[in-house]
Amino acid sequence: MNARLEVTKTYKMYVNGAFPRSESGRSLPVESVDGKHIGHICHASRKDLRDAVGAARGAVNGWKARAAYNRGQILYRMAEMLEGKGEEFAQAIKQSTGDDLRSARKEVIASVDRLISFAGWADKFAQVLGCNNSVAGPYYNFTVPEGTGVCVVVAPDEPCLLGMISLMAPALCGGCTVICVGSEAHPIPTSILGEVCQTSDVPKGVINLLTGQRAELLTWIAEHRGIDAIHAANLEHDEARQLRLGAQENVKRVRVRTIDDDAWFETEECESPWWIEPFVEMKTIWHPSSA
């Protein structure tokens, strides 16, 4: 009897509510920690990034216009769907990183909780970051935060799921649309997250997920004038410098964090409304008061 070869999955990107292959046709093999071939992921190109930026730009006005409470509902629904695929995420993390299943499940649970936390902040952070200003004259003067636009997330290699969710959620909460370049070392959870987005209430273009080689995309991310902000963590010194130098092209906001592995699980640090603040603009409103 002939032995049957297992059909391994080719994971797609997630752009504009669809699952395209890379326009270049390139893919990369993914191996488990013990060297076993477990699939292929798409190798995103400059053109794929441009397509993702176009999708995010097309969705940003609609996302910002939604009620903050509704954005919170959508993030909460994402958390529900992520938890429903929790075992699939845990197995993918275990295969790729070599973590035991208990640790992988801990990361998945923390990712669900992080989404829920920022879902809760969606209609509350404005009261923390904004204010009622004292002015002379018969006026009310308010400062209110508004999403800054299109934000690129450059996820750390580890923790591959929790790090990605922790960087995406504050920008989404604040009203930004997101393009995420997932973990290069452990990319499969990024691709599975696309399936979560597709089966939840996320409008197309609001979340876009790319996989591949980070170094190839960083130059274009830094220089692209359609990108308004960058949220990254645990980059090499030269990578962080590249992003900051590119910001001079359009004065985009660049926040590169350095966070130890265990610190990603700390709620006081990573679930603060001040993680939202870099991705909002402050708008001041004047209104006449009654005599």
HSE value, Cβ hemisphere, 13 Å, CA-based, for 231: 26
Residue with tokens 């752009």: 15
Decide: helix, strand or coil at residue 274. helix
Going by their DSSP bridges, the two strands 131-133 and 280-288 should be labelled as unpaired
Taking the C-alpha atoms of residue 188 and residue 48, their distance in angstroms, rounded to an integer, is 18
pTM for the whole structure = 0.93
| pLDDT tens digits, 123-138 | 999 988 887 777 777 8
CA angle 115, 276, 169 (to 5 degrees): 25
* Closest listed residue to residue 181, CA positions, set 207, 201, 147, 144: 207
CA angle 119, 208, 254 (to 5 degrees): 75
Topology given in CATH for the domain delimited by 10-288 = Aldehyde Dehydrogenase; Chain A, domain 1 (3.40.605)
- DSSP secondary structure string for all residues of 235-258: --HHHHHHHHHHGGGTT-EEEEE-
Determine the straight-line distance between the first and last CA of the chain, rounded to whole angstroms. 92
CB atoms within 10 A of CB 274: 11
Task: Show pLDDT as tens, one digit a residue, over the chain (291 residues).
Answer: 577 777 788 899 999 999 999 998 999 999 988 888 899 999 999 999 999 999 999 999 999 999 999 999 999 999 999 999 999 999 999 999 999 999 999 999 999 999 999 999 999 999 888 877 777 778 777 888 899 999 999 999 999 999 999 999 999 999 999 999 999 999 999 999 999 999 999 999 999 999 999 999 999 999 999 999 999 999 999 999 999 998 887 889 999 999 998 999 999 889 999 999 999 998 888 888 765
Taking the C-alpha atoms of residue 4 and residue 191, their distance in angstroms, rounded to an integer, is 26
Taking the C-alpha atoms of residue 66 and residue 70, their distance in angstroms, rounded to an integer, is 6
Residue with tokens 């987005």: 197
Taking the C-alpha atoms of residue 18 and residue 230, their distance in angstroms, rounded to an integer, is 23
* Closest listed residue to residue 226, CA positions, set 58, 70, 4: 58
Which tokens sit at 263? Answer: 């610190």
Q: How far is CA 66 from CA 11, 112, 150, 203, in A?
A: 31, 23, 16, 11
Taking the C-alpha atoms of residue 61 and residue 166, their distance in angstroms, rounded to an integer, is 23
- Residue 269 dihedral angles phi and psi, to the nearest 5°: -80, -55
Decide: helix, strand or coil at residue 186. coil
- DSSP secondary structure string for all residues of 128-165: HH-EEE--SSSEEEEEEEEE-SEEEEE--SSSTTHHHH
